[in-house]
Amino acid sequence: MKKLITAFLLSLVPVLALASGGDVHLDKADIDLHDKDSLRHGARLFVNYCLSCHSAAYMRYNRMGRDLGLTDAQVKENLMFAGEKVGETMTVAMPAKESKAWFGTKVPDLTVVARARGADWLYSYLRGFYLDSSRPWGVNNTVFKKVGMPHVLWELEGLKKPIIEMRKNHEGKEEPHIVGFEQVLPGKLSKPEYDKAVRDLVNFLVYMGEPAKLTRYTIGVWVLLYLALLFVVAYALKKEYWKDVH
Ligand code: HEC
């Protein structure tokens, strides 16, 4: 028995090692899909700061409006700029060819990016831009090395430069390490305000990756209520049937 337990515990080791793997630290996004204010704020940031380059080609404006508790008129007024109709998907005017010429790469669609990357990665990425004069846009990123995207939220966050220390890696070689940041240009938002804005934006990206989740939450509540009711009825029936047996 002891041997079995040891074997079982040992078999867990590689899994644990994998789970803690990766040398990139990710901050927790702590998202909440029930928070409609946060989702609406995220949607506004998304259309203002991201939709000029990225599309969300699998999301329709009116579906988003419905899920976020907005009327078609409100969606038109607050979340749409060009002459699109509310039934259309969130596409982008920039042709793929030009995006390749400008950015050296195709700008990815963001509808399901949260499923591919995860909320914590996105939260860390959007807060991870720092000044690096060796890069074409003057910025690099803590979780996406040599990123091809400019820091589009710099007006809100401001600009920060890394504080670098030399540290030995596991082979004993000295390597530069980012140990912190120094703000060199203030943004419109304070650090906590910026973190909150990015959290709302990530919340929206997670919602967009699986809009059916919101519907499922509601269905779940009804299912539980139904089961509770069924239990009461079944219990009453059971009492009724067994009444004469005892
Ligand atoms: C000026 C154009 C531009 C704007 C505006 C822009 N991006 Fe990007 N974004 C890019 C490009 C180009 C890449 C590809 C970077 C690369 O592959 O090196 C990218 C990559 C990304 C990625 C990584 C995708 C992946 O999985 O590889 C995410 C996430 C992302 N952008 C999110 C956003 C969000 C959120 C916004 C709005 C706040 C935004 N972007 C605004 C150009 C832009």
Instruction: Give, for all 246 residues of the chain, the pLDDT tens digit.
Output: 677 676 666 665 555 444 444 567 899 998 999 999 999 999 999 999 999 899 999 999 999 999 999 999 999 998 998 667 899 999 886 777 777 788 888 899 999 999 999 999 999 999 999 999 999 999 999 999 999 999 999 999 999 999 999 998 888 899 888 999 999 999 999 999 999 999 999 999 999 998 888 778 778 889 999 999 999 999 999 999 998 886
Rama region for 162: left / alpha / beta (φ>0; ψ in -120 to 50; rest):
beta
CA distance 153 to 191: 13
Ligand 1 centroid distance, CA of 19 (Å): 27
- pLDDT at 17 (0 to 100): 46
CB 154 near ligand 1, within 6 Å: no
Q: Are 155 and 226 in contact (CB under 8 A)?
A: no
Residue in the block written with tokens 């090395």? 145
Ligand 1: distance of its center to the CA of 29 in Å? 18
Taken as a whole, the chain contains a residue count of: 246
Q: With contact defined as beta carbons under 8 Å apart, do 98 and 88 qualify?
A: no
pLDDT at 104: 81
With a 6 Å cutoff on the Cβ, whether 59 touches ligand 1 is no
CB 191 within 8 A of CB 160: no
Amino acid at 85: K
What is the CA(230)–ligand 1 centre distance, in A?
Answer: 50
Map out the domains of the chain with their CATH numbers: 24-232 (1.10.760.10)
Q: Is the CB of 48 under 6 A from ligand 1?
A: no
Q: Is the CB of 118 under 6 A from ligand 1?
A: no
Ligand 1 contact via 198 beta carbon (within 6 Å)? no
What whole-number distance in Å separates Cα of residue 213 and Cα of residue 203?
12
